[in-house]
Structure formats: structure tokens, C-alpha cells
Structure 1
Amino acid sequence: MTTLQARFAPTAYGSARLLAGVTRGAYADLAMHRSLHGAQQHRTHDALVRETAAVRLLGRGGAAFPVSTKLAGLPARSSVEVVVNGSESEPASHKDRTLMTLVPHLVLDGALVVARALRTRRVTIAVHDAAAHEALKRALAERRRSEPHPESVTVRMQPAQFVAGEVRAVLSGLDGGAAVPPGRRTLPTRRGLHGAPTFASNVETFAQIALLVSLGARRYAEVGDPEEPGTSLLTLVGSGSGSGVVEVPTGLPLDALLGGSDVDSGPVLIGGYHGHWVSDVRGLRLTRPALRAAGVPLNAGVVARVPAHGCALAEVAAVARWLASQSAGQCGPCLFGTHAVARDVDALLHGRPSLEVAGRLRAMTGRGACAHPDGTAAFISSALTTMTAEVAAHAEHGGCGRPYLGVLPLVEDR
């Protein structure tokens, strides 16, 4: 059988938990997984709600919604669906693909804990990455031989487009429709896959649930910040400590993680391509509540730094064009707004004034059929606010004299 291995070996800042045993980048089979995390455990619905509430577990996708609240809002009955969203479609993000490729049994343990707590036997894993798909299928085959379980776990390939990773787009695709977010804002917990109440969350959330059940709430909370205990996965891009997936204890100061001096450090993007740019990370701690309070939500965990010797505005322009190309084309703010602001940023890059960009960014916000216009506007508006000196240099000289490095990827590494 093919040896499964991540393209880049993940690392841990401190003791690895989610990444225990795989920091060399090799697949953890069922025997290794059980030696590290013990036998599969389960919880009742009420017990799992209490345990996730005790450690303030937040979803590890963009919304950072309390897991206990989502669980408590679902009935425990056989018609409920469980969906693991592995459609990590942002080119800069690799954390969920790393989990699925290297520790799929941890993801499966978490999914089965949730399914058993909700008294359902239906689990669907949506994934678009070929290596992750292969690893999950291999893990399920191992379990069929050694640990057969009554739940039906299905792994489904989904499109790789950016907006296709949004949970409502995933559910639409799994139901046979277009993998785009529908205009209606019905929560999956009320009407999700096949019209049934659905617990849907991203891959790391399920891995965290498995870890919580394995360790227990007290041991789980021994690491990290009391506001959000435990560890979290990040994808680092750019300078400083290097690029790749890293597991860090929550509460870690962001400047301690990134490294680099003020002289050689450029602007930092927190939260990925629907995130926010900042010029100074001092005082920022890696907890979702703290970052949200600072106006820079962590979203799916991408932290990128453009080196000071590269043109940050060129990076923004390239990603703005890419975001425009990812529009689902189902509402005006997305179909027209994203393309218009991408042209505005390109004009600024070439030293031409764009007096309408601020108005266009405001017009995009809060009016889209999905979060793509809002996310694009946040990415661009925070960049222009953070990079005022660079924008001025381009306006005065037609450029800043620094090259476009292509630090922010536009094509996924598969």
C-alpha cells in the first residue's frame, strides 16, 4: 500500500497533542493511534454538551461557534446527520488536510463520538484533497478489519473552489446540487443534509472532540489559556519561523510564534484570505476570543507574513484578483463588487488613484448571498488601512521598488 505522508512535516510549539506521533510527517495507522490516544470512547448527548462547555471548545472553522451550544441545539435521534467539513479550499490553509492525511483516526474518533451522542449512525466526510481522501479510506479499511462499528461513514469528494468550502455550499453539493452557498440562511442544525438536522463542523473540531474525550476535561484544560483551553492548529505562511502547519498552545503571544525583528518584518495577515491585515502583532494572543475582540478573527487559522523586502501591495492585488475569480456569481456584491475592487487595488499597485474603492468596499459589506463579499472586503480594506505608506509610495513613484514574491499562494498544493 502507498505510504501516506504530508508534503511538509508539521511541527508543535511545545508538546504535540493533535499531532502526537506524526511530526515527522508520516501517517499514523490504527495501532499507533490507539497506543497514543487509547480505545475509542463515547459520551451521551448531555455528557458531551457538558464536557465541551467545560473547556469552552470553539469550532475551528471560520465562525468559532461554541461546540456545546451547537450540540445542545440538536435532538438526539436517528434522523440527525453528522457532516465533517474537510473542504479546505483556501490555498494558504493546510491544517485540516494535514489532520486527514496524517491522523485520520483522530478525526474519525471525533465523528463517531458525535454520532453516538446524537444517536445517529450517519456520518459523511466531505473532502476535495486526493491525499486526504486516500488516507481516510485507508483508515476506514483498517477499522473494518479491527474495530467494526455500526455507524455508516461515507467519504465524498467535493469541488475545490473557494466558496465550495462554506458549510452550506458543502451541504448543497452533498445533496446533489451546486456546491455554492444558497441564498437562504437556514442553520444546518435546523435543516441540513437531506433536509435533516445536521451537526456540521470542520475537521479540526472533530479531532479536538476526540482529544477531549480521550483526555477528559481536566487534562485537556491543563494546556493553553483559561479563556480557550487546549491547543490549536495554524498554517504559517511567509517569513519568521517558516511555513507549514504548527500546533500551538492557546494564549501564545503571536510575536513569539512569528519571530523576526521589526526591521525585517512586513505586515501580517491573520485569518487567511477572508482575514485582516495588521502592521504590529505585539499584544495579540492566540485565542479566538482575544483576537476577535481585537478585530482580527483567527478564522481557519492562517497566519501569513510578507517579508519586508517584498511588495505587500502586490500580494494583496494578486489575492484580490484570485478572490474575484472565485465568485459564485449569484449576487451583485460578489459578481460585480469583487471584480471592481480587484481592479481598484491593481490601479493602486500601478500608481493610479482609485477614488471609488472605499465606497465599493462599503457597498459589498453585509449584502451578499454568502460571506464571500464580506470576507473579500475585510481582506482588502484592512490591507489598505495597514499599508498606507506603501500605497503612497506606489502613488508617488509608480511602485515601491520591491519585488512581488508570491508569498501568498494562489494554487493549492495537492
Structure 2
Amino acid sequence: MTILQENPLQLRAIGQPRLLAGLKEGRAELHRHLWTHGPMPQLSRETYAELATAVGLRGRGGAAFPVALKLADLPSSGIEAVVVNGSESEPLSRKDRLLLTLAPHLVLDGATGLAQALGAPQVLVAVHDAAAASSIRAALLERQDAVKVQVADTPGRFVAGEARAVLSVLDGGSAVPPGRRVLPTRKGYHRRPTFLSNVETFAQLAVLARLGSREFSSTGLSSEPGTHLLTVAGAVDRPGVIETPTGIPLETVLQFAGAPQTGAILIGGYHGRWLPQATGVQLSRPDAPLGAGIVLALGTDTCPLGEVHRVAEWLASQSAGQCGPCVFGLAALVDDFGRLLNGDPAGWHDAQRHLGLVPGRGACAHPDGSARFLASALEVFGEDVRSHLGAGGCGRAVRGVLPVPGGAW
């Protein structure tokens, strides 16, 4: 393990760091960035597509969509913009804002390099974190890019980070996803073809452009080479952002973070899934539901169902308010879990029924992701469910291991 920086949110690398290289002393200004990574090569659209295909590069946001397929879906000309989605509104994630804050030039290299290759006249960086936005704006003063780069402030609400919600804000609309699901590559910024991805994806593109496919593939899985960033949180001694090779065992990551040997693990954040244990799990996309690269150890000192109920209340409060499955379905599930906590068997039965009705019917992915989180909780915490139904509780207090905005990290 390599510890890159000692601070409350520690940066670590298992193996040789790439995205976090050169950050031992803190934020990398342009001179130190170039000394660490070297100049950014100017590549063609075809070369970017070939590189992304060769290494099977997937987006580092929630969907893990193949970058090469996204490039292939764009028209040959008339691309309006490249959009960097830095609206990291998942409460557990820190990796994207960390890159924007400490390695802004790596992100800008990936975005501006791709924009030039695509013939897009502008790059838009959408970000809701003030420190991250300030860092990007300061970095732009050090650069002379061939394309126009703008930083746009976005709201911090959970659904505001969804790609189509970000595009709505950039076009002057509200920060909610429209009901119609249209790919940004077809109708994005100004309703014209747009390449949009999250922050880490652009940093990965900058690394890939410099290393080439062979050297990029010298670490990680052969099916998904390279590294990725993980935000590790919860009942761990050393929370923070870790860069690891793809395919690393979950047990290894938790060991380095100082997690307890027992207790359930949340993978992928509040739209992710619970795992009963870490044994036998490899962290890779798309095999594990990594989402935005989140690993949280719950530990054994808190009431699991009480923790899940707190998050369910917050998820319901984040509804965009534009469809029944989200507005009424999530509110019903909050009530179901509340009654279950108090030992009411009807709460469990109603939760099962509502979890079968919510997915696949919403205007955006929020109801689906929330239902996935809650359904896996009922499955993994079956013993706790029986304790609450049989004895009125599990005997443990709710310690707030799962953070919600307004609480502690």
C-alpha cells in the first residue's frame, strides 16, 4: 500500500498510482502536473475509439457504459459539446470532487483532448461543490486550450447529478431528469449531439492517451485493465479514496482501510446493493455493482434496518416529484420500513409488495436504484428482520454509519 497524503480524507494507492500520481504534496498545479504525467498528446477521434476499445474502457459513473460505444453513437460532425459531469451528489462518494480539486489538469486534459478530436467547440464542466469549482477555474487560468471551457454550477440534490438533469440545468432548465429517456449522444446540450461522462472517465482518458493501450493494460484485469478510484467509508479506521487495480478482492480493500472482519458491505452507494460479506468478491465492472465506486463497511455496532430506514427517508426526500413510483412509492416504502422497525409484520409484507411495483416505472433511475438498495437490505439483513418482528428490535442503537446530507462524513 502507498499512502499518498495524510489528511482526514486519506489518499492511498494499492500498487502504482496513476490518477492520484503526484498528489502527495496536495493539489497539482500545471507545472507539477506536466512533470508527473508529461504533455497531453493530440489524438484523432479514431485513435480515441481504438484505445477505448482495446482496453474495454467503461464510464466510471453509475452505468459503466462502454466509452467506445458512446463514441460510435455520435455523428461524424455537428457535435455540440463535451460535458464533464462533476455533480457528485451521491452522499458517500468523494472521488470525482477529489480529482476536480487536486488533479484538475488531468480531468481537463481528457475533456479538451477529446473535444478537439470530436470537433466539439466547447467543454462544459458541471459541478456543485464550491471547492471543486474554484479549483477548475483556477486551473483554467494556467492553460491555453484550443476549445472553450466553461464551469457551470449545479444544485447538489441527488437526482440533479443524473446526466439528463445536468443537461437540463446547462440549458437553463430545472435540475430534474426529463421523463423521456433520450441519450445525450443524440440530444444533449442545446438538444444536439453531446459526449457526456463523469469526472473520473475523463481522467482515465487522459491517462490512456498518454500510456497507450499496452501500458495501460499492464495492471488490472485482462477483461477490464487499468485502475479505478474507490471511496471507502463507514466502520473503517482509515476512510478515504483509494486507487486500486481493477479486479482487486474486496477483502484486500477493506483490510487496507482497517475495516472489521464481520458485517455487511454496501457496494455502489445508495443506488447500490448490500453484500452479506466480502469473501470471494472481485471489484470490477460490470460484474460487481460498483456504481460510482463506493465501498462502505457497516460494522456490527449499529442497527442495520434503522440505518437503512434513515437513508430511505432521505432518498424519498430527493424525489424529483414528477412520477408516481417516486413520489408515492418511495414514501410508502419509508412507512413500510418504519413499521417493520417497530415489529409490525404488515410492514414487511407491504415492503415486499411495494418493492415489486416501483422498479421500471419511473421517469428516471431514482426509484429503481432506491428499490434495489432497499430490496437487498431485506435480503441481507434477514436475521435482523426476524429480530425486529419477533422481539421488537435487535437491541442496537442507530449510530448513523450511513451518512445523509446534514450529518457527519
Query: Higher mean Cα deviation, 100-109 or 277-286?
Result: 277-286
Residue 308 of structure 1 pairs with residue 304 of structure 2:
no
Aligned partner letter, 1:286:
L
Match of 2:401 among 391, 394, 407: 407
1:251 CA displacement: 1.1
Aligned partner letter, 2:179:
G
1:264 CA displacement: 4.8
- The separation in 1 between residues aligned to 2:218 and 2:34, in whole angstroms, is 22
Aligned partner letter, 1:200:
L
Matched residue, 2:97: 97
- The separation in 2 between residues aligned to 1:237 and 1:166, in whole angstroms, is 22
1:375 CA displacement: 0.4
Q: Which runs of 5+ in 2 are unaligned?
A: 1-5
- The separation in 2 between residues aligned to 1:32 and 1:405, in whole angstroms, is 42
Matched residue, 2:140: 140
Match of 1:365 among 350, 359, 366: 359
> CA 1:98 to 1:262, structure 2 compared with 1: closer, same or farther past 3 Å?
closer
Residue 265 of structure 1 pairs with residue 262 of structure 2:
yes
Structure 2 counterparts to residues 389-408 of structure 1, below 5 A: 389-408=383-402
1:78 CA displacement: 4.9
Query: Higher mean Cα deviation, 91-100 or 400-409?
Result: 400-409
Structure 2 counterparts to residues 282-361 of structure 1, below 5 A: 282-291=279-288, 297-353=289-345, 354=347, 355-361=349-355
Matched residue, 1:130: 130
Matched residue, 1:170: 166
Matched residue, 2:16: 15
1:334/1:368 contact within 8 Å kept: yes
1:241/1:257 contact within 8 Å kept: no
Q: Could you give the per-residue CA deviations for residues 250-271 of structure 1, whole angstroms, max 9, x where no partner exists? A: 1101112113999852111111
Aligned partner letter, 1:98:
L
- The separation in 2 between residues aligned to 1:351 and 1:41, in whole angstroms, is 62
1:310/1:403 contact within 8 Å kept: yes
> CA 1:262 to 1:150, structure 2 compared with 1: closer, same or farther past 3 Å?
closer
1:6/1:98 contact within 8 Å kept: no
Aligned partner letter, 1:15:
Q
Residue 274 of structure 1 pairs with residue 271 of structure 2:
yes
- The separation in 2 between residues aligned to 1:152 and 1:57, in whole angstroms, is 26
> CA 1:344 to 1:15, structure 2 compared with 1: closer, same or farther past 3 Å?
same
- The separation in 2 between residues aligned to 1:23 and 1:385, in whole angstroms, is 41
> CA 1:262 to 1:33, structure 2 compared with 1: closer, same or farther past 3 Å?
closer
Aligned partner letter, 1:46:
E
Matched residue, 1:84: 84
SS in 1 for 2:61: coil
- The separation in 2 between residues aligned to 1:401 and 1:237, in whole angstroms, is 24
Match of 1:216 among 212, 219, 231: 212
1:7 CA displacement: 5.7
Query: What's the C-alpha RMSD, in Å, of the aligned pairs?
Result: 1.8
1:395 CA displacement: 1.5
1:348/1:395 contact within 8 Å kept: yes
- The separation in 1 between residues aligned to 2:196 and 2:259, in whole angstroms, is 41
- The separation in 1 between residues aligned to 2:32 and 2:126, in whole angstroms, is 25
1:164/1:180 contact within 8 Å kept: yes
- The separation in 2 between residues aligned to 1:262 and 1:32, in whole angstroms, is 34
2:323/2:363 contact within 8 Å kept: yes
Matched residue, 2:3: none
TM-score normalized by structure 1?
A: 0.93
Query: Higher mean Cα deviation, 58-67 or 304-313?
Result: 304-313
1:264/1:309 contact within 8 Å kept: no
Q: Percent identity?
A: 51
Matched residue, 2:200: 204
TM-score normalized by structure 2?
A: 0.94
1:6/1:102 contact within 8 Å kept: no
- The separation in 1 between residues aligned to 2:120 and 2:369, in whole angstroms, is 34
Matched residue, 1:294: none
> CA 1:368 to 1:23, structure 2 compared with 1: closer, same or farther past 3 Å?
farther
> CA 1:135 to 1:76, structure 2 compared with 1: closer, same or farther past 3 Å?
farther
1:159/1:179 contact within 8 Å kept: yes
> CA 1:92 to 1:335, structure 2 compared with 1: closer, same or farther past 3 Å?
same
Match of 2:248 among 247, 252, 262: 252
Residue 233 of structure 1 pairs with residue 225 of structure 2:
no
Q: Which runs of 5+ in 1 are unaligned?
A: 292-296
- Counting matched residue pairs gives 400
Aligned partner letter, 1:41:
P
Matched residue, 1:67: 67
Residue 185 of structure 1 pairs with residue 181 of structure 2:
yes
Query: Higher mean Cα deviation, 152-161 or 347-356?
Result: 347-356
- The separation in 1 between residues aligned to 2:229 and 2:211, in whole angstroms, is 18
> CA 1:216 to 1:6, structure 2 compared with 1: closer, same or farther past 3 Å?
farther
2:10/2:238 contact within 8 Å kept: no
- The separation in 1 between residues aligned to 2:207 and 2:261, in whole angstroms, is 38
- The separation in 2 between residues aligned to 1:23 and 1:194, in whole angstroms, is 40
SS in 1 for 2:136: helix
- The separation in 2 between residues aligned to 1:157 and 1:6, in whole angstroms, is 27
Aligned partner letter, 2:299:
P
